[in-house]
Structure 1
Amino acid sequence: MSRLVRGELIKILSTRTALAFAVTSVALTAANAMIVAVASGTLDEVGEKEEALSGMPILLLLLGAVGVAGEFRHRTAAPAALASGTSRERLLLARATAYAITGLVVGTLMVAVSLGAGLPLLGRQPGPDLGAGEVTGVALGLLGSSVLATVIGVAVGALLRNQILAAVGALILTFVLNPLFDRVREGSSDYTPLGAVAVLTRMVHGPTRISLAAAAIVLGVWTVGLMAAALAGERRRDLA
């Protein structure tokens, strides 16, 4: 298994797509910290200050989806399966593991940039300062969301096998469906993958939102469910 994971990691690191998503995620995290902490006015509540430290792991979902779907677009899925000498399900698990490691590395960079840029700026704001527990919670939420969002992207890419459809679907869910869910019932979008990520990273906050523990469970259930569906699909569908 380790050989398969190393091979998938080499493949990920050799593409410009992964680098582009990683750089963009870190840059947007830094921009979010500076914009929320400086340009959004006075932040005198803990929730508002936590929001300034939220990162952008949603882009990592797109990384997983676009990267895995690209295997089918560029017709490298079948040669990879044949060269691995193992089952397609095992190869998909290795691919998901490699992307999870990538998500963890990028998530760590986002945490470093978020805390490094955000905490000094938040120190100038009135109201209570963020305690060590709150800062740690934001960091762990961002790290965990980065890993799980990337794995969800892998599952979506394996299920859809179309880069454009996967990317457009994620954008529609983020900017169209999630707001519609909240119009029907406030906070209902928290039970979608992207909504749970937003709660865990403190991109959204408020009394109507689900708890952090509930958001972690929701995101974990989506991850396991989608990966199970993707693995089942590998057994039933042709690679070509």
Structure 2
Amino acid sequence: MTHLLRGELIKTVTTRTALAFALGGIAFTVLNVLMITKASGTLDDLHEKEEALSGLPILLLLWGLVGAAGEYKHRTAAPAALVARHGRATALMARIAAYALTALLIGGLMIAISVGLALPLLADHPGTPLTAGGVTAIAASDLAAFVLSAIMGAAIGALVRNPVAGVVILLIVNFAVIPLIAGSHESLANLTPFGAAGVLARMTHDTTLSVAAAGWVLLAWTAAFVAVAFVSEQRRDLA
């Protein structure tokens, strides 16, 4: 299993896709911090300051989806399963673990940049400041949202097997379907993977779902997608 995970990690981190998503994550992080601290007026509420440190879980979800689905598009999934000699489920497990580990790296970089950039800028705003414990809690929940989203994305990629179709579907759901649901039933929208990830990553506040509850909801969705992906992997042709 170790050598299989090592091989999946090499494939994951040595592609231009990994670099593109890492740069995209950095760009969003900087933009998010500047927009909230400089273009949103005075931040005197603690929850508003937390949003300056928020992340973008959907970016890591797309990262897992594009990478995992690309394995089937470029026909590298079948050779990997044959070389593994442990079955398709083991190969998929190693692939998903590789995306979880790379999400730790990309997410950790994003968090480090947001904390380093946001804290000095937030010092100029009145009200209750963020404490070290608060910043640590935000960083932990952000990282959890990133990793779970990447795992879910990899599982969805194994199900969809077409990067373009998967990205289009997810973007439509995130930017069209979820807002429609939230407009009429906010509590229901928060129970979707996108809603729960947003709450866990501190992108939204004053919601019907707590951060801890959002973590459990996102974990449940992730486990469900992974389970379905494993079942599908056993029944479908890899070629």
Instruction: For residue 143 of structure 1, give the secondary structure of its aligned residue in structure 2.
Output: helix
How far, CA to CA, are the matches of 1:205 and 1:188 in structure 2? 15
Task: Identify the residue that residue 235 of structure 2 maps to in structure 1.
Answer: 236
Measure, in 2, the Cα distance between the counterparts of 1:209 and 1:41.
Answer: 25
What is residue 158 of structure 1 aligned with on the other side? 158
Unaligned 5+ residue runs, structure 2? none
**Aligned ranges for residues 59-70 of structure 1 at < 5 Å?**
59-70=59-70
Partner of 2:209: 210
Amino acid across the alignment from 2:230: L
Per-residue CA distance 1:210-240 (angstroms, 9 max, x = gap): 0111100000001111000000001111102
Q: Distance in 2 between matches of 1:189 and 1:131?
A: 30
The whole-number CA distance in structure 2 between the counterparts of 1:114 and 1:189 is 27
Shift of 1:19: 1.0
Correspondence for 2:137: 137
After TM superposition, give the deviation of residue 72 of structure 1 in Å: 1.1
Tell me, what secondary structure is at the counterpart of 2:175?
A: helix
Equivalent residue number for residue 194 of structure 1: 194
Deviation at 1:56, TM superposition (A): 1.9
With the length of structure 2 as denominator, give the TM-score of the two structures: 0.97
1:63–1:153 contact (8 Å) kept in structure 2? yes
Aligned equivalents of 1:81, 1:234: Cα separation in 2: 11
**More off after superposition, 186-195 vs 27-36:** 186-195
Task: Give the whole-Å Cα distance in 1 for the aligned partners of 2:4 and 2:203.
Answer: 35
Q: Does 1:222 align with 2:221?
A: yes
- Aligned length, in residue pairs: 239
Distance 1:56 1:212 in 2: 15
- Deviation per residue, 1:16-44 (Å, 9 max, x gap): 00110111112211210111111111111
Displaced runs of 4 or more, over 6 A: none
Superposed counterparts of 1:52-201, under 5 Å: 52-201=52-201
Tell me the CA shift for residue 57 of structure 1.
Answer: 2.5
CA distance in 2, matches of 1:2, 1:179: 42
Cα separation, 2, equivalents of 1:175 and 1:188: 16
Counterpart secondary structure, 2:119 = helix
Return the alpha-carbon distance in structure 2 between the equivalents of residues 97 and 203 of structure 1. 26
Shift of 1:141: 0.8
Q: TM-score, normalised by structure 1?
A: 0.97
Identity, in percent, stands at: 52
Letter in 2 for 1:192: T
AA of the residue aligned to 1:70: G
What does the per-residue CA deviation read over 1:38-83, in whole Å, with 9 as the maximum and x for residues that have no partner?
A: 1111111001000011012311100110111111111111112112
Give the letter aligned to residue 236 of structure 1. Answer: R
2:36 maps to what in 1?
36
C-alpha contact 1:199 1:209 (8 A) present in aligned 2 = no
Distance 1:40 1:6 in 2: 44
- Secondary structure of the residue aligned to 2:186 is coil
Aligned residues: CA RMSD: 1.0
Distance 2:80 2:131 in 1: 48
Query: Partners in 2 of 1:34 and 1:184 — Cα distance?
Result: 31
